[in-house]
Amino acid sequence: MTSRIVSDQSAVYVKKDRPQLKPGYTVRVSEKIKEGDKERIQIFEGLIISIHKGSVPTDAGFTVRRIASGVGVERVFPLHSPFITKIQVVKIAKVRRAKLFFLRGRSGKSARLSERFTKADEFAVAASQPQEPSAPAEEVVQEKAEEKSNKETNTKE
């Protein structure tokens, strides 16, 4: 009973604009950093090596690893943190593990993962970032409207 109440209350804080993340995705995380009275956005780009589900939806998190100046750096981000402004999926790699901790012991080319070649629509589903409609979509709508008007004029004749 108590866990149901906690999960219902935590569901209010779940962010809807977060993409579906999986191990092997290379992501760019934009995080708000507060230094004194100034606030700025810092970007951390790296490979997701693990996903943490948690018992409550707001407990979810992910670990991102990158190499900075020859040293491996890992950061654990809460998925629904108010300090994370944006998460972009940059690349999708082909992996067969849920946790990629074996990459910690590797360096150089052996630490690389092969990129999964996906179709444009498949990558869009994986990235699932809200985007503004592009001009070609508007052209398609205009062409359909022209086709309808042409059909109407043909049926009247």
Q: What mean pLDDT is predicted for residues 119-138?
A: 55
Boundaries of every domain in the chain: 2-132
Query: What letter does residue 132 receive in the DSSP assignment?
Result: P
> pTM of the entire structure?
0.66
11 or 41, which is more confident: 41
Mean of per-residue pLDDT scores for the chain:
77
Q: Which tokens belong to 75?
A: 């950061």
Class of domain 2-132: mainly beta
Per mean pLDDT, which range of 65-69, 85-89, 111-115, 123-127 is the poorest?
A: 123-127
How would you write 137-150 as a 3-class SS string?
HHHHHHHHHHHHHH
Q: Residue 134's pLDDT band (boundaries 50, 70, 90)?
A: very low
Distances (CA, A) of 85 to 4, 40, 54: 29, 11, 21
Taken as a whole, the chain contains a residue count of 157
108: alpha, beta or left, given left = phi > 0 and alpha = psi -120 to 50? left
